Amino acid sequence: MNAKPPLALTALLPSLLLLAACGSDPTSAGGEGTEKFTTWGEQYIEKGIPSDPDGQSGFLNDWTLHYEKFLVNFHSITVADTNEHVGAASKDSYFVDNTKPGRKELISFRNLEAKAWEQVSYEIKPALADAVVVSGDEEDLKMMVREGYSIYVEGSATKGATMKTFHWGFTIATSYRDCHHEEQGKDTLGVVVTNGSTDTTELTTHGDHFFYDRLQASPNPAIPTSLRFDEKAAADEKPNGDEDGDITLDEMSKLPIDVRKYNPSPFTAPTLGAFVTELARTIGHFRGEGECTIRAL
């Protein structure tokens, strides 16, 4: 749930190509097991984002934020190996409101060969009318389908006596491939299915990513990625906004980014609206803080 440097949207670390589950091999006896996929929004989405003077574990400048809805549409969950053999792939899409508490099961793939499956991938893209409603309101799913949204968030942010609301829908489609995570101190690509057991993979969503001030982490560890809201609030003010207390993507799209505070490099995001839309691609993670290679579809 802590602020974490954002992913490079298109770059794949070359070392990932060489990674595989290693160490003792629980699959050597063969057999079959189950890979269960869940999702969770963590505390930032369930409970809210606090303020933090350093901007690392919360917002700079005393802002706090609470989500009312955090709607996500998962598609094409796939388990494959390095030889591009697909062990299992979902035929359904899954609609989730991750403000609902706890981890929610998306799908379980049973009778998978017990071995390392290094190529795990999924997509977040516009909702389908026949999606499985995992959690949330069916009317929200209908809204997502009607508007062509893949992600929709709404909530409010507060600073002293000032409150700003937001209702943001995104029509972007994104693939998450080559997913990896830390397992017992080692960076592990994909998952390991063990004979007779169930392994659980969480497709985590991170609610703080919309408010990062960088699209890619700085190579200099002394330059942090911080959470900012002042500029989003300013987008609702004149001359770009209508001062109705609700921040829209259209209003943010009229406001050029302040390059003294926001760094889009190496991507193109000239306005605050474009910047937030690119950050929306980075909400998807893998088994908590694990990451994937992200590509626009």
C-beta atoms surrounding 58 within 10 Å: 23
Which residue positions in the chain have pLDDT lower than 70? 1-29
pLDDT of residue 121: 98
The phi and psi torsions of 106 (rounded to 5 degrees) equal -90, -55
The full set of domain ranges for the chain reads: 14-296
d(CA 123, CA 295) in angstroms, rounded, equals: 10
Q: For residue 75, what pLDDT is reported?
A: 98
Would you tell me how many other CB atoms lie within 10 Å of the CB of residue 11? Answer: 11
> What is the pTM for the complete model shown?
0.89
**Tokens matching residue 119:** 């190529």
Tell me, what's the pLDDT at 91? 92
pLDDT of residue 7: 46
Residues 43, 288: Cα–Cα separation, whole Å:
12
Question: What is the reported pLDDT for 21?
Answer: 38
pLDDT at 221: 84
Euclidean distance between CA atoms 60 and 157, whole angstroms: 12
Query: Buried b vs exposed e over 61-90: b needs ≥16 C-beta within 10 Å?
Result: ebbbbebebbbbbbbbbbbbbeeeeebbeb
